[in-house]
């Protein structure tokens, strides 16, 4: 029996098929779009995402041998909401996690229930990212859609429903909504009653790796797979990526670069919840039993590099089209070897943790007449890593143990970025053989659903390393000094950016 992991990201989806030794047998990727505007909107055609998912499932299955696949699970982007009718069809665009129009609704949640009380109940501070605030936003801006919805799903229960298991979501996704009581392990009657939200809009919740059904006949016919393929409850993309990177307990952190730049780790229970609260770090369920998960977040990671490529790198884009070599790889090859004296505040969509300041804006500091776009490209990577370093310090202050870093996602393919992570974080960076940790984690959960292995044991055996990059003492010293300069930038620009935001 081979296993498929489906990864539903913000700007694209991937399907990966592995055998029981962890060898990749098939892989496919499709991009799709996000509809944004200057008012904070970030929406997506959920049905188009499903069609893209169908295509990558079919292509990856074909590469591996469609009849060989015995189980499928998924890794999904967090926090998006999708109102659906009784047939599981989206009746409104998905409102994504990066949609910040629900700021007023987040404030309302805090005012009615109390910011700290909500965190104590759910492990989530009120923030426009949270799914519950987006449900309130939908009710405010489109009451007809809200009232006609049979359910309001995340991408987890939306895609599972399309595959053949409607009305079911997993524990990691439920515990990210700010509507789930993490201690009682149930949808919070107190929260939903206080906000007048119908509990019937939410799906049944099961642990990651639970079997939830089999493949729908129409999906089986289109993809060439058997109707007997077991569907497994998956997880939020960050815990799935951590599982696919071999995180089975404390001590390891995962630096995962997708659309966003995320640093995550698993633990038994938060030792210093005050530090979690002050740093806007969530506490929610991991993909393994009896464990919790947290992460720092920079809203722009890969999407910032895409913005830079699309707006300033015509030469690399043209050469990429001619040669087939990625424009990002071409940029890597031209980056200066030495640390730059440029600082790029990467707050193009507000700041992430530990400030979560929606009014912060991007900035490039230190320009001279000698600066070129290759210097700027490196400064972007440096500054994203400075943000990561400050979050790592804060998380360690909260009692979390991180001795080594695992690189995951697209950033694991950039050698300059890997060296920057080692030097700025002053820790060894482990590069897995399989860079697609999210879909690999989902495939591991598929195996758990099929009953062929314990997911922790499978992750420990399958997540093999390709190489380890050690920090270089000379650059560590330079970057330690640069980091101290970088710390000054956000506070210095905070009032300026606030004025820009509200002019």
Is 360 found in the same domain as 253? Answer: no
- pLDDT at site 412: 86
235: three-class secondary structure by DSSP: strand
Is 438 found in the same domain as 420? Answer: no
Using CA atoms, how far apart are residues 157 and 448, in angstroms rounded to an integer?
Answer: 18
Which CATH number covers residue 348? 3.30.420.40
Q: What is the tens place of the pLDDT at every residue in 90-142?
A: 999 999 998 989 999 999 999 999 999 999 999 999 999 999 999 999 999 99
Strands (E), 9-150: 12-18, 24-31, 35-36, 42-44, 69-76, 82-84, 94-95
Is 283 found in the same domain as 336? Answer: no
Length of the chain: 503
**Residue 478: what are its φ and ψ, rounded to 5°?**
-65, -45
Computed from CA positions of residues 433, 437, 441, 446, in that sequence, does the dihedral angle turn out positive or negative? Answer: negative
- pLDDT at site 90: 99
Is 329 found in the same domain as 257? Answer: no
Using CA atoms, how far apart are residues 469 and 288, in angstroms rounded to an integer?
Answer: 28
What are the helix (H) ranges across 88-130? 103-113, 115-122
Is 378 found in the same domain as 345? Answer: yes
Sequence-separated contacts (24+) of 483-490 with Cβ below 8 Å: 483/386, 483/389, 483/390, 483/424, 485/343, 486/343, 486/383, 486/386, 487/390, 489/343, 489/345, 489/363, 489/365, 490/345, 490/347, 490/351, 490/355, 490/357, 490/360
Is 69 found in the same domain as 143? Answer: yes
Is 383 found in the same domain as 241? Answer: no
Which residues lie closer than 8 Å to 41 by C-beta, 6 or more apart? 35, 99, 101
Using CA atoms, how far apart are residues 419 and 470, in angstroms rounded to an integer?
Answer: 8
Residue 87 preceded by cis peptide, ω within 30: no
Is 161 found in the same domain as 20? Answer: yes
Using CA atoms, how far apart are residues 92 and 146, in angstroms rounded to an integer?
Answer: 9
Angle between helix 473-487 and 373-397 (nearest 10): 80
Give me the domain span that covers residue 285: 2-298+434-466
Is 175 found in the same domain as 136? Answer: yes
C-alpha angle 206-268-454 in degrees, rounded to nearest 5: 50
Is 490 found in the same domain as 443? Answer: no
- pLDDT at site 257: 85
Which residues lie closer than 8 Å to 358 by C-beta, 6 or more apart? 100, 103, 128, 350, 351, 501
**pLDDT below 70 — which residues of the chain?**
none
What are the helix (H) ranges across 398-488? 415-425, 437-449, 455-462, 473-487
Is 328 found in the same domain as 259? Answer: no
Q: What is the tens place of the pLDDT at every residue in 379-409?
A: 999 999 999 999 999 999 888 989 999 998 7
Q: How many domains does the chain have?
A: 2
Using CA atoms, how far apart are residues 346 and 278, in angstroms rounded to an integer?
Answer: 21
Using CA atoms, how far apart are residues 147 and 197, in angstroms rounded to an integer?
Answer: 11
- pLDDT at site 270: 72
Is 495 found in the same domain as 445? Answer: no
Burial code (b: 16+ CB inside 10 Å, e: under 16) for 392-429 equals: bebbeebebebeebbbbbbbbbbebbbbbbbbbbbbeb
DSSP secondary-structure letter at 76?
E
Using CA atoms, how far apart are residues 72 and 503, in angstroms rounded to an integer?
Answer: 50
């Amino acid at each position: 029996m081979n296993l498929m992991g489906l990864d539903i990201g913000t700007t694209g989806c991937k399907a990966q098929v592995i055998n029981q030794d962890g060898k990749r047998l098939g892989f496919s990727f499709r991009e799709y779009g996000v509809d944004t505007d200057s008012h904070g909107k970030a929406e997506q055609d959920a049905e188009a995402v499903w069609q893209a998912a169908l295509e990558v499932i079919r292509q990856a299955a074909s590469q591996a041998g469609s009849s060989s696949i015995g189980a499928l699970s998924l890794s999904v982007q967090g926090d998006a909401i999708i109102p659906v009718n009784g047939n599981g069809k989206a009746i409104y665009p998905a409102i994504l996690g990066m949609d910040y129009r629900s700021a007023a609704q987040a404030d309302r949640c805090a005012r009615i229930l109390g910011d700290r009380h909500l965190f104590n109940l759910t492990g989530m501070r009120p923030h426009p990212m949270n799914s519950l605030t987006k449900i309130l936003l939908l009710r405010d801006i489109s009451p007809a859609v809200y009232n006609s919805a049979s359910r309001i799903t995340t991408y987890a229960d939306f895609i599972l429903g399309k595959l053949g298991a409607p009305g079911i979501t997993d524990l990691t996704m439920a515990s990210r909504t700010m509507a789930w009581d993490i201690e009682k392990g149930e949808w919070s009657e107190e929260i939903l009653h206080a906000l007048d939200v119908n509990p019937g809009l939410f799906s049944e919740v099961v642990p990651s790796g639970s079997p939830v059904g089999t493949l729908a006949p129409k999906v089986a016919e289109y993809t060439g797979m058997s109707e007997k393929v077991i569907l497994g409850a998956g997880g939020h993309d960050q815990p799935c990526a951590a599982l696919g990177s071999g995180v089975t307990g404390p001590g390891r952190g995962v630096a995962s670069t997708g659309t966003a730049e995320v640093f995550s780790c698993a633990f038994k229970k938060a030792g210093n919840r005050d530090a979690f609260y002050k740093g806007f770090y969530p506490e929610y369920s991991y993909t393994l039993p009896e464990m919790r998960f947290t992460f720092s977040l920079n809203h722009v990671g890969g999407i910032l590099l895409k913005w830079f490529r699309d707006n300033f790198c015509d030469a690399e884009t043209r050469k990429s089209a001619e040669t087939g070599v990625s424009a990002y790889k071409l940029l890597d090859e031209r980056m200066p070897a030495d640390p730059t004296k440029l600082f790029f505040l990467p707050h193009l969509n507000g700041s992430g943790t530990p400030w979560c300041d929606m009014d912060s804006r991007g900035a490039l500091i230190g320009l001279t007449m000698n600066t070129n776009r290759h210097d700027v490209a490196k400064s972007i990577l440096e500054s994203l890593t400075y943000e990561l370093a400050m979050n790592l310090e804060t998380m360690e202050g909260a009692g979390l143990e991180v001795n080594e870093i695992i690189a995951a996602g697209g950033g694991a393919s950039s050698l300059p970025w890997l060296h920057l992570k080692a030097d700025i974080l002053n820790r060894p960076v482990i590069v897995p053989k399989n860079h697609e940790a999210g879909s690999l984690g989902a495939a591991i959960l598929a195996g758990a659903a099929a009953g062929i292995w314990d997911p922790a044991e499978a992750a420990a055996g399958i997540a093999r390393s390709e190489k380890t990059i050690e920090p270089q003492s000379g650059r560590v010293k330079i970057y330690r000094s640069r980091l101290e300069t970088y710390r000054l930038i956000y506070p210095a620009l905070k009032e300026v950016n606030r004025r820009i935001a509200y002019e």
